[in-house]
């Protein structure tokens, strides 16, 4: 990790920025848990199964900057990479995803920057998820700092598929063989049907 950090102009600036991203993750995660608790209190139903958060690894940040032909420095990291701080929300049903997204959009301390619906419009790979990029303001000893946070919302089935696909991308260095890609696409279609069927059963209950 230290070798990667040396690529940055100012290692101390890097560490300060990562501290802020971690702070944003903690606060956004707590906010989402409270919203989930309130939803359960009001509607007697829990739309969120679990929440996970992560900070993008230095190596991944460097690779992404290089892919976009950007110089490797802290300013470019902050201004051009929106998913350094990531929160993943996993729900039971597809309808829950849109309920959670609606709740996020109503928060006055979260500013929605962009929305990508890969459920209604899946990626060519078969990937399905709902992505929201928000600004969250962290209060520091030097005043407020606005931080990008990416929120991904998926069903349990979508998350299972995405986890397997991600591990294959890593194994094959983002060049998955066609035969495996075809099976992944077929699995994604099966997951879509499974989610639809489980939602239908849930609605009947």
Give the residue numbers marked as catalytic.
150
Strands 143-155 vs 110-117: parallel, antiparallel or unpaired:
unpaired
Could you tell me how far CA 32 lies from the centroid of its own chain?
A: 13
Backbone φ, ψ for residue 56 (5° rounding): -60, 140
Q: Which helix (H) or strand (E) segment is 151 a member of?
A: strand 143-155
Cα–Cα distances (Å) from 12 to 25, 117, 180, 185, in that order, read 20, 37, 43, 44
| 147 class by beta-carbon count within 10 Å (0-12 exposed, 13-18 middle, 19+ buried) | buried
Task: Copy the structure tokens of residue 133.
Answer: 């990029």
């Amino acid at each position: 990790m230290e070798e990667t950090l040396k690529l940055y102009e100012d290692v101390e600036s890097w560490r300060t920025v990562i501290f802020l991203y971690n702070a944003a993750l903690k606060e956004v995660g707590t906010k989402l848990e409270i919203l989930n608790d309130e939803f359960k209190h009001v509607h007697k139903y829990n739309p969120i199964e679990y929440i996970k958060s992560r900070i993008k690894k230095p190596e991944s940040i460097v690779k992404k900057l290089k892919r976009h032909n950007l110089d490797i420095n802290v300013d470019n990291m902050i201004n051009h990479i929106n998913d350094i701080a990531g929160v993943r929300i996993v729900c039971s049903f597809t309808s829950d995803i849109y309920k959670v997204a609606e709740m996020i959009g109503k928060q006055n301390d979260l500013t929605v920057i962009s929305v990508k619906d890969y459920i209604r419009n899946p990626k060519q790979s078969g990937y399905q998820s709902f992505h929201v990029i928000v600004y969250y303001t962290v209060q520091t000893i030097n005043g407020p700092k606005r931080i990008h946070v990416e929120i991904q919302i998926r069903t349990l089935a979508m998350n299972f598929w995405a986890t397997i696909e991600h591990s294959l991308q890593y194994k094959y260095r983002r060049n998955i063989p066609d035969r495996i890609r075809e099976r992944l696409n077929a699995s994604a279609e099966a997951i879509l049907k499974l989610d639809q069927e489980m939602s239908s059963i849930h609605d009947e209950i």
